[in-house]
Structures are given as C-alpha cells and as structure tokens.
Amino acid sequence: MAQLAVFVLDTLYSVAVLVLISAGLGIIFGMVRVINLAHGEFLVLGGYSAITAHGLGLNIWLSMLVVAPLVVGMFGVVVERLIIRPLYGRLVNTMLATWGLSLVMVGGLNMIFGNTTTGIPLPVGGFSVGGYQVSGYNLLLIVLAALQMFVIWLVLGCTRFGLLACGTMQNASMSAAFGVNSSRVYMLTFACGAALSGLAGGVLAPLIGLTPGGGANYIAKAFITVISGGASVVSGLVASAGLFGTVSQIFTAVATPIAGELALLVVAILLLRALPSGISGRYFRNRI
Amino acid sequence: MAVWQQTVGAFLIGLVIMAALPLVADYYTLTLLVVYGILALSLGLIWGYGGILCFGQAAFFGIGGYTFAIAAINFDAAWPALFLAVAVPALFAAVLGAMMFYGRLGDVYLAVVTLVVTLILFKFMNATAGQEWVIGAARLGGFNGIPGFPTLHLPWDAQAWLIDDRLYYFCFVLLLLCLSGCRLLLASSFGRIIIGIRENETRLQLLGYDTHGFKTALFTVGGGLAGLAGALFANWSEIVTPGLFSLGQSAEIIIWVLIGGVGTLIGPVIGAALLGWLKFVFGQQSVIDNSLVMGVLLILVVLRLPRGLLPAFAALAARLLPGRGGGRRRRLLAARNHRPGETPTGHEGGSAHGS
C-alpha cells in the first residue's frame, strides 16, 4: 500500500516536472508560434537568478518564486524585441535564431559563473509514508504545477488580456483593426512564456546541480512534451505530460532511469507518427 | 554534356585547392575541416535541395563512426568497415525517412523526431559502459567510447597507415568525389524531381510522383554521406565517443550549412571549413567563450543573411559584374527565390487556432 502511494507520488512528481519545464515553451510555441530552442537556457537563467538572489541574502521563496520569473521575463522582452520580432511567421528561422541565442547564453553564463555546479539548499524537509521517505519539496512541486496550469487556464480563458492574446494570435491584422496593439500583445505573451520558464528554473534549482550547459538536459524533454501536446496550451500539455511522465516512471520503476528516459523518447516518436498534429490536434481541438 | 564538363572542371579546380591548402595550415587540422565539409555537404544536399531540415544529422555521423569502429575491430580490417560505415547509416536513414515521410510529418515534427532520435542514441551510447555491452569483439565503452581500432591503410601495403598527409589527400579526394556525385545527381531527372518537391510537393504529387519515396531516397543518400564523414572522423581521431551524437554536433552542422548557403553544394563545405577553422582559432584563447561566438554568428546570419554567405557574395558579384555569365545569374535567381525556412504553407503543424 505504502509502496503504491510512493509510486503514485513519484509518477505525479515526474508529470509535474514535465509540466513545469514545458509550460513556458508551450506558451511561446502554442501562442506566439515560435519554437524557442533557448528554452533550456531560460530555465538555467532562472535557476542562476534564484541562486544569485539567495546568495545576496534574499529570502529563498522570494528568490525562487519572484526574482527568477521576473528576471527571465524581462530578458524575454529584450529577446523578443531584438531577435524574434523580425522572424514572426518563419518557424524554422526562429528555431535557428533561438538556437544561436542558446549558444550565446551558454557561453555568457559560462563566462560569468564558470563551468561548475552550483545549488541552493532545499527549503522544506521530507516525511515518511510507511517505510519510505518522501521529499516534501516534490509534493510542493506537484501542487505548484497544478496551480500553474490552473492560472494559465484562468488567464487565457477568463481575462481580457487572455482574450486579446488569443484573438491576436489567431488573426493579428484583424485584432489590430479593432485597435489592439498587437505587437505589444506578442511581446507580453512571449515575456509571460519566458517568465514561466524562469519560474521553473527557479523552483528546480535546489534539485539539480546547475551548470551553464545544463539546459540541454531539459530542452529535448520540454520540446517533445509541447510538440506532442499540440497547439492547445493547457489541455495538450497536461495530456502529453501525463502520458510521458507515467511511461517514464513505469520504466524507471521496472528497469533503470535511463530506460525510463529512452522509453519516453520512443513513445514520443511513435505518438507523433500516429498523431502528426499532437494529442490536442486530435482530441482537444479549439480548446485552451 | 555541359554538366559533365562543369563537374570535371570543378573537380580539377578542387585538386589545385587540395594541393595549395597545406601551404597555409597543417595536415591534421585540414583533414578535420575536410571531414566536416563532407558532413556539411550531407545536410546541404537534403536541406538545400530536398527542403528537409534534419536536426539530427549527427545521428548518421555518429552511427557511421561507431559502425566503422565496431566493424574494424571485428573484421580486424578497415576497408570493409568503411563500406559498412556508409551502408549502415544509409539503411538507418532509409528506415527513419520512410517512417517520417510516409507518416506525412510536417517540417517542425520532422525536426523534432530527428532531434529525438539523436538524443536517444546519445543517451543509449552513454549508458553502455558495462561489460555486457559488446558487439562481437568490440566493447561499446559508454561515455569513454571505443578507442584502439584498426584504421585505414594503403590497400597494397598493410603497414602504410593513412595518417597525416595521406589521410588528408584521401579525404579531400573523397570530398571532391562526393561533391561531383551530388552535382551529377542533382542534374539527373531524380535531382530535378527532388528540387520540384522542395518548391511544391503537392504539385509533384498531382503530377503522379511518389514524393515520399523520392524524399526517402534523398534522405538515404544524405545519411550515407554523413556516415562516410563519421568513418573518416573515426580514422582521424582514432576514437569514437558518444559526443558524436551530441546536440552541439547537430547544431554545428546546421550552422555550417546556413552560413555557407542553403541551396548550394559548395557553400556548406566552405561554411564548415570556415567555421571549423574559426572554432580552432577561438579555441586557442580563453577570454571569449567559443559557443558565444558561434551563437552570435548564427543569430546575425539568420537575421541579416538568411541565404548564407555564398549566395550573398554571388549576388554581390552579379551586381558588380553586369552582363556576364547568364547561366550563373539564372542559377542565382533560382537560389534567391528559395529562402530557407519559409515553407509555402507558412504556419506548419496542426494549428488548433485555425485561421
């Protein structure tokens, strides 16, 4: 019984991590239609912001949950203005330009922080279920991921900004004709996506040994979760993260973590072969 | 035939360049640049002419290198291994390509699938450190890779290894043969159909061509070329490691092709040699990080020269020298009309927002 509970918790945790690391990319791909290959480095930047803020004496929660998204969000504004703006509508070119950005960020972070592992302490302790020790922080991440998805759904579905954003992404010139400043909406949406990546990087910083090149470990997983999810930001993302998280956890439990990662990747390929426009392209058309 | 004459002429010019290059750099560096050139050519062919943006060309490169190493150890002979190192990646590309093209994956999804395949291979090869991972007599060696396999030697003298100048000339002649082969392939009816598919796949389908089959065939050729580059790389470095499959390697190939010029054959080769050399130069100092330079270059090229260096220079030359070389200008126009990264359908990939 306790073993089952731990397995369920572990599965939920791996789903939550997938949701957290993919949400920012999902917003940027699903809404702005830009494939941000610098996403992994956005995460790393968030992590480093949190660590630096914490090192300067700021409260750890504040540095993870406020400073990290703020810094990366502002960075996102700059990136959108300088690099992404001329490339809207040219999907492959945005991929290449953001790949360049990712190399620049790896190089820059390497020069600033050095090629070593840094970390911050876990802010919460663990507790035991039956004979097993469970990390309280993992539980917190699960709650945070659920909360984050709920907030995104709320913002997109129920607020004026969400409506304007969805409208602009569907037909920019039409919404511009209605008096919406579409270039600003694009910028803000991109910044929101970047901020979400920063948040993920901030909250994951205590769990991973952060290195400047560490983003590469996340970009592929985030990428396939988002692409397999399809164009619907919330429903697609939750569906694919749920599927991949469960598969990888099952294979991790019966074999090794490497087998789990490989199984995730293989399932992604098979899924894309079967559903070329992602899960939400097939099952959740025209939902958020 | 004009194409034959041009190809032979270009081949001879290439031989002159081959003889001249050792005056400016050492054989060891040059060999690597030539191998990179073949690798860049493999992507330049499928991306520039077939419109297939493969984010995982490093997968075929790595498979080529590993096949060579494993086969060379098992046969204790390098020449049969070289042929296998072309055949196995080509076969892999054929299977993967058939799965993707007959599955009608869009541009973005194709990029993701190739990226993911590269990642799977990278992770798998890193996880093969244990004793149980052997193929014949070859241990896969995990993160440390496979060292100490027999390398190529002169066919008539088993003791005369292809190293330094011999390896350089061998690789360069192979590069020239590959370039000429691609040139002739593109001039054939197969090549014309491939370019037609790049321009408008639906139209070619309506004309009755099995476009998926043609794309698969082109992808196979690209995989074989990348495999050849991998085998030559293995000969040069005398070790193969999972680093061959890394995302960074895939990124570099794309950067070479993009900077050299998508839609040309010689452009990617020049781009690879130029950037490989730049990397070498920047690697000798430690003030500025290497990937920072590469990244800035990539961004600038995407924003300012989306067609790459060679077409940009050629367009400049055509403007400065009006009225000369009609055929050349026609080809330039064709290259100009095709802008990399712009798919005719624009927003690819299952937009649930509709329009």
Cα B278 off chain centre by: 18
Domain residue ranges of chain A, discontinuous segments joined by +: 14-115+137-283
Q: How far is B133 from chain A (nearest CA, A)?
A: 15
The answer to whether B198 touches B58, Cβ cutoff 8 Å, is no
Q: Which whole number is the average pLDDT over A256-275?
A: 81
Nearest chain A residue to B47 by CA distance is A92
Do residue A106 and residue B350 have CB atoms under 8 angstroms apart? no
The answer to whether B198 touches B25, Cβ cutoff 8 Å, is no
**Which residue among B116, B289, B306 sits closest to A93, beta carbon to beta carbon?**
B306
Would you state the pLDDT for residue B276? 86
Q: For the segment B154-168, what is each residue's pLDDT rounded down to a tens digit?
A: 777 777 777 778 889
What A251-258 contacts at long range (C-beta under 8 Å, 24+ apart), as own/partner pairs, is: A252/A14, A253/A7, A253/A10, A256/B127, A258/B123, A258/B124, A258/B127
Would you state the pLDDT for residue B45? 94
Residues 123-152 of A with CB under 8 A from B: none
Please measure the distance between the N-terminal and C-terminal CA atoms of chain B and give it in whole angstroms: 50
Dihedral (C-alpha) B220, B222, B225, B226: value to the nearest 10 degrees? -110
Q: Counting runs of H as helices and runs of E as strands, what totals does chain A give?
A: 13, 2
Do residue A170 and residue B297 have CB atoms under 8 angstroms apart? no
- ipTM of predicted complex: 0.81
Top residue of B95, B100, B298 to mutate, by most chain A CBs within 10 Å, is: B298
Do residue A108 and residue B292 have CB atoms under 8 angstroms apart? yes
Query: Block means of pLDDT (10 residues each) for chain B, length 355 residues?
Result: 82 84 84 93 93 89 93 86 93 92 80 83 82 78 82 75 82 93 92 92 92 94 95 90 84 86 89 86 73 83 81 82 56 52 40 35
Domain residue ranges of chain B, discontinuous segments joined by +: 25-304, 308-336
Would you state the pLDDT for residue B351? 36
Residue found under tokens 């999972």: B242
Would you state the pLDDT for residue A187? 92
Higher pLDDT, A20 or A96: A20
Residues in B closer than 8 angstroms to A278, CB to CB, are 350
Would you state the pLDDT for residue A21? 92
Would you state the pLDDT for residue B336? 52
DSSP assignment of B154-197: ETTEEEEE--HHHHHHHHHHHHHHHHHHHHHHHHSHHHHHHHHH
DSSP A59: -
Angle at B303 between CA B281 and CA A218, to 5 degrees: 75
- Residue A137: both structure tokens together: 């922080």
Q: For the segment A238-257, what is each residue's pLDDT rounded down to a tens digit?
A: 999 999 999 988 888 888 87
Top residue of B55, B117, B119, B255 to mutate, by most chain A CBs within 10 Å, is: B119
Query: What average pLDDT does the structure give for chain A?
Result: 86
**Which residue among B105, B124, B298 sits closest to A276, beta carbon to beta carbon?**
B105
- Residue B63: both structure tokens together: 């498979």
Higher pLDDT, A185 or A119: A185
The answer to whether A130 touches B145, Cβ cutoff 8 Å, is no
Distance CA A189, CA A166 (A): 10
User: What pLDDT band is residue A43 in, cutting at 50, 70 and 90?
Assistant: very high
Residue found under tokens 């899924």: A271
Residue B262, helix vs strand vs coil = coil
Would you state the pLDDT for residue A241? 92
Distance CA B354, CA A281 (A): 11
Dihedral (C-alpha) A51, A22, A71, A104: value to the nearest 10 degrees? 90
Would you state the pLDDT for residue B1? 60
**Which residue among A35, A99, A266 sits closest to B120, beta carbon to beta carbon?**
A266
Angle at A255 between CA A270 and CA A138, to 5 degrees: 90
Strand partners, A210: A118
Q: For the segment A129-175, what is each residue's pLDDT rounded down to a tens digit?
A: 777 777 888 889 999 999 999 999 999 888 988 888 888 888 888 88
Q: In this model, does residue A180 exceed pLDDT 60? A: yes
The answer to whether B24 touches B158, Cβ cutoff 8 Å, is no
Would you state the pLDDT for residue B349? 37
The share of chain A scoring above pLDDT 70, in percent, equals: 98
The answer to whether B231 touches B85, Cβ cutoff 8 Å, is yes
The answer to whether B259 touches B311, Cβ cutoff 8 Å, is no
DSSP B25: S
DSSP assignment of B282-311: HHT-SSS-HHHHHHHHHHHHHHH-TT-HHH
Residues in A closer than 8 angstroms to B353, CB to CB, are 166, 169-170, 231, 286
What's the CATH class of domain A14-115+137-283? mainly alpha
Residues in B closer than 8 angstroms to A170, CB to CB, are 353-355
Would you state the pLDDT for residue B352? 36
DSSP A172: H
